[in-house]
């Protein structure tokens, strides 16, 4: 569906669970230059567990992280409540706005964090960042306000792309701006998850990834990394947004313990 915001039109992809609702909601922000279709496995799995998912293509050079965070805030705090309150329509009465989660990959992780610590502070219930990159763009870095976020967070990433593939410039997930830096700035409760042997694009559906060749290639099976990310993020939001008690705070109920045992994952918690 197309949404008219004060800054222009935004095209959204909507994944709706079966049933009347209202349902919790997650907004999924794509990485730099990536398309919403690259994250369909996350949206489809979440919707199958009773969570509405909204996503959009990233505009690439057509938008800065602060601008995208401002659009996200307007979309979720102004447009969406009006849409839900309509007597009829795709989202009418479908969404429980008191159970809102944010999720994002790469720059999308930074956008989610900027929104959650800025205009959406106090409105977001949980946040899951997929190999987020907190590069200074438009004078903003998410880590500055992150200590005051006040919600459960997960930072799931990889260490292979902390250095560049071609020996020049930053890596695709520069070590100075990566998920570990953000976890260090985040308050409790928070999880730091590392997919061993993974690369920056293993968190995206390979057939839809844009520009993956500019990043390092990991030794891990990309499909397995993606499946693990989908499973853990779904479990996290099921716990934090829907109150599913079978998933614990360390995501053991979502398969974290098994992935640690077989050497695919490491975990740090605070």
DSSP output for 136-194: -BTTB-GGGTGGG--S-EEEEE-SGGGS-SSSSS--TT-GGGSHHHHHHHSPSSEEEEE
Q: What is the mean pLDDT of the chain?
A: 94
Do 100 and 24 touch, CB atoms closer than 8 A?
yes
Q: How confident is the model over 124-152, as a mean pLDDT?
A: 94
Per residue in 74-113, pLDDT (tens digit) is 999 999 999 999 999 999 999 999 999 999 999 999 999 9
Residue 220 C-alpha from the chain's centroid: 21
Number of domains making up the chain: 1
Q: What is the pLDDT of residue 213?
A: 86
In the chain, % of residues over pLDDT 70: 97
Assign 191 to helix, strand or coil. Answer: strand
Closest to 20 in 3D by CA, of 132, 95, 77, 122: 95
> Residue ranges of the alpha helices (H) in the chain?
40-48, 65-74, 80-84, 107-116, 179-185, 222-242, 256-261
Output the domain CATH number for residue 61: 3.40.50.1820
pLDDT beyond 80 at 168:
no
> What gap in Å lies between CA 254 and CA 237, rounded to an integer?
10
pLDDT beyond 70 at 140:
yes
pLDDT classification of 162: cutoffs 50, 70, 90: confident
Structural domain containing residue 66: 2-269
pLDDT beyond 90 at 169:
no
pTM > 0.75: yes or no = yes
Segment holding 154, helix H or strand E: strand 153-157
């Amino acid at each position: 569906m197309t949404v008219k915001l004060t800054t222009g039109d935004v095209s959204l992809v909507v994944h709706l669970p079966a049933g009347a609702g209202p349902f919790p909601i997650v907004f999924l922000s794509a990485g730099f230059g990536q398309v919403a279709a690259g994250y369909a496995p996350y949206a489809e799995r979440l919707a199958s567990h009773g969570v509405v998912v909204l996503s959009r293509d990233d505009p690439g050079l057509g938008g800065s992280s602060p601008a995208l965070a401002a659009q996200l805030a307007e979309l979720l705090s102004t447009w969406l409540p009006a849409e839900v309150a309509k007597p009829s329509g795709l989202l009418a009465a479908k969404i429980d706005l008191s159970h809102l989660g944010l999720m994002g990959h790469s720059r999308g992780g930074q956008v989610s964090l900027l929104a959650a610590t800025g205009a959406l502070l106090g409105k977001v219930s949980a946040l899951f960042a997929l190999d987020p990159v907190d590069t200074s763009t438009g004078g903003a870095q998410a880590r500055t306000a992150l200590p005051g976020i006040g919600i459960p967070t997960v930072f799931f990433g990889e260490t292979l792309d902390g250095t560049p593939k071609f020996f020049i410039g930053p890596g695709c997930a520069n070590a100075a701006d990566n998920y570990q830096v953000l976890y260090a700035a985040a308050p409790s409760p928070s999880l730091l998850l590392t997919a061993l042997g993974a690369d920056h694009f293993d968190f995206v559906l390979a057939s839809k990834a844009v520009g993956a060749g500019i990043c390092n290639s990991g030794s891990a099976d990309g499909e397995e990394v993606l499946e693990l990310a989908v499973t853990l993020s779904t479990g996290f939001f099921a716990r934090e947004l829907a109150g599913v008690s079978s998933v614990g705070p360390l995501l053991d109920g979502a398969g974290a313990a098994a992935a640690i045992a077989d050497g695919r994952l490491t975990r740090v918690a605070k």
